[in-house]
């Protein structure tokens, strides 16, 4: 029925994202037929409480066991609550929470059960977006690129643009809007650029007892320590050809590079590292974009944005400059991908995750179809 409805035109899909910052669940409605954006609907944010966040942090990096089970319950409860006012949608795209990501090792783990969510909401749920890609040899991330292609069409871009997501981890998508579909060769190049806000958040939490460097206020008072920055950039990850992806804590030891620095210099240096990782990433793109369109919480950090603008020769602007919503772009991406999963369309390919061929990841669970 869902497929039949989709074949006639756009449907209303509620996408969710619970990102590496572990701050909460974003929900956003997208009107789409899985190929194009027809419109953006309402959105909401359901923060994790202190205890829930502690449970998630405790489980981070684990693959199974009681901590993972507890995290899974928290994620399930939070999403059921977050989606309570969205049950009039035709479909839900449920990313879940990544606890561990090791594409060339043990795989990728997003907790939360789509079948249970479908039962609780009485709405079909597309979920488990990353496993198939990893099983076929891909990175399993990033997955927003096929949506970024649709965004580039929506904003009527005429030359290559980059969508840059500055979340806990940074990722970018270079898009050639001259191509007709994201599957087309040369349409996309995507990869994780490196750590973005996660190390800054970890530093502020450890040293100042706050969860992030609001408006870059602490970094603004400090100076980037170039020796530490150079050591960071010597990491082999930056020279590796994309596609490539990261786990939240893959660079967690970088905090030791700033151990001896004052709070302000440490914050400035970690912010400089986040910016430098992006600059390295842009060098891997097939051409210099006409604009870098920034989404995710990092776009609200003026120090990080100024560092990027100073280092890049093209304009660096928040996605709001082209009429998009930088707080909800990832949730909208999983709404878009959900529609593609329902239609059996690919959600990733060689230029976005390094997988050998186009892959349609994800499954759709329907209410009432549990074993
Ligand atoms: N005003 C601000 N000043 C500085 N930093 C900010 C501001 N607002 C948000 N941030 C940063 O953005 C982070 C949240 O970003 P976001 O919600 O995009 O992450 P996420 O979606 O969890 O991550 P990911 O995209 O890696 O999954 C916060 O943890 C904080 O570091
Ligand atoms: C494994 C995983 O959950 N990766 C996330 C994370 O957060 C940012 C970056 O690392 C990106 O690769 C991905 O999320 C976005 C939404 C993506 O898949 O496009």
CATH number of the CATH domain containing 76: 3.30.420.40
Query: What pLDDT is attached to residue 370?
Result: 65
Question: Are 102 and 239 contained in the same domain?
Answer: no
Does the ipTM surpass 0.95? Answer: yes
What is the atom index within ligand 1 of the atom nearest the CA of 295? Answer: 18
Question: Are 167 and 198 contained in the same domain?
Answer: yes
Question: Are 305 and 200 contained in the same domain?
Answer: yes
Q: Are 132 and 349 in contact (CB under 8 A)?
A: no
Cα separation, 337 vs 95, whole angstroms: 10
Is 38 inside any structural domain?
Answer: yes
Strand 125-127 to 107-111 pairing: unpaired
pLDDT in single tens digits along all 371 residues of the chain: 898 999 899 999 999 999 988 999 999 999 999 999 999 999 999 999 999 999 999 999 999 999 999 999 999 999 999 999 999 999 999 999 999 999 999 999 999 999 999 999 999 999 999 999 999 999 999 999 999 999 999 999 999 999 999 999 999 999 999 999 999 999 999 999 999 999 999 999 999 999 999 999 999 999 999 999 999 999 999 999 999 999 988 998 898 999 999 999 999 999 999 999 999 999 999 999 999 999 999 999 999 999 999 999 999 999 999 999 999 999 999 999 999 999 999 999 999 999 999 999 999 999 997 65
Question: Are 8 and 113 contained in the same domain?
Answer: yes
Give the DSSP letter string of 207-268. Answer: HHSSSS-GGGHHHHTS---HHHHHHHHTSHHHHSPSS----TTTTGGGGGGGTTS-HHHHHH
Binding site residues for ATP, as ranges?
A: 19-26
Measured distance between the N- and C-terminal CA atoms of the chain, rounded to whole angstroms = 20
Question: Are 227 and 317 contained in the same domain?
Answer: yes
Question: Are 288 and 275 contained in the same domain?
Answer: yes
Query: What pLDDT is attached to residue 249?
Result: 87
Question: Are 75 and 198 contained in the same domain?
Answer: no
Residues whose beta carbon lies within 6 Å of some atom of ligand 1: 17, 19-21, 23, 165, 167-169, 197, 200-201, 212-216, 296-298, 300-301, 330
Question: Are 318 and 331 contained in the same domain?
Answer: no
- Strand partners of residue 11: 32
Strand 316-318 to 292-295 pairing: parallel
Question: Are 208 and 106 contained in the same domain?
Answer: no
220-231 burial string, b = 16+ CB within 10 Å, else e?
bebebbeebbee
Is 332 inside any structural domain?
Answer: yes
Split into its structural domains, the chain has a count of: 2
Question: Are 275 and 345 contained in the same domain?
Answer: no
What is the atom index within ligand 1 of the atom nearest the CA of 296? Answer: 18
Question: Are 331 and 318 contained in the same domain?
Answer: no
Cα separation, 94 vs 130, whole angstroms: 11
Is 173 inside any structural domain?
Answer: yes
Q: From 282, 193, 174, 171, select the one nearest 237 (Cα to Cα).
A: 193
Question: Are 24 and 70 contained in the same domain?
Answer: yes
Binding site residues, as ranges?
A: 19-26
**What pTM was computed for the model?**
0.97
Which residues constitute the domain of residue 206? 156-322
């Amino acid at each position: 029925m869902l497929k039949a409805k989709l074949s006639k035109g756009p449907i209303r899909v509620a996408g969710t994202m619970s990102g590496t910052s572990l701050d909460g669940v974003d929900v956003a409605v997208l009107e789409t037929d899985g190929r194009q954006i027809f419109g953006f609907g309402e959105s909401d944010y359901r923060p994790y409480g202190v205890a829930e966040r502690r449970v998630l942090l405790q489980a981070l990096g684990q693959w199974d066991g009681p901590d993972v089970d507890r995290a899974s319950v928290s994620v399930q409860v939070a999403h059921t609550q977050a989606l309570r006012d969205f049950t009039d949608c035709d479909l839900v795209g449920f990313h879940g929470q990544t606890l561990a990501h090791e594409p060339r090792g043990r795989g990728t783990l997003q907790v939360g059960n789509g079948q249970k969510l479908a039962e609780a909401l009485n709405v079909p749920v597309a979920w488990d977006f990353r496993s198939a890609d990893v099983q076929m040899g891909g990175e399993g991330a990033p997955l927003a690129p096929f949506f970024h292609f649709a965004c580039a069409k929506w904003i009527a871009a005429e030359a290559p643009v980059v969508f840059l997501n500055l979340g806990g981890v940074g990722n970018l998508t270079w898009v050639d809007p001259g191509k007709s579909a994201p599957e087309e060769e040369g349409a996309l190049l995507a990869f994780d650029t490196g750590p973005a806000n996660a190390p800054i958040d970890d530093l502020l939490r450890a040293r100042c007892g706050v969860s992030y460097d609001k408006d870059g206020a602490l970094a603004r008072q400090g100076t980037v320590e170039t020796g530490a920055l150079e050591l960071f950039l010597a990491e082999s990850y930056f020279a590796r050809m994309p596609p490539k992806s990261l786990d939240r804590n893959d660079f967690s030891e970088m905090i030791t590079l700033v151990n001896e620095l004052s709070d302000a210099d440490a914050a400035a240096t970690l912010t400089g590292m986040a910016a430098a990782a992006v600059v390295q990433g842009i060098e891997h793109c097939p051409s210099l974009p006409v604009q870098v369109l920034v989404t995710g919480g990092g776009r609200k950090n003026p120090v990080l944005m100024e560092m990027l603008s100073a280092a890049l020769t093209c304009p660096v602007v928040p996605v709001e400059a082209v009429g998009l919503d930088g707080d909800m772009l990832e949730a909208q991406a999983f709404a878009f991908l959900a529609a593609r999963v329902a239609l059996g369309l690919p959600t990733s390919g060689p230029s976005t995750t390094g997988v050998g061929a186009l892959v349609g990841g994800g499954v759709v669970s329907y209410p009432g179809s549990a074993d």
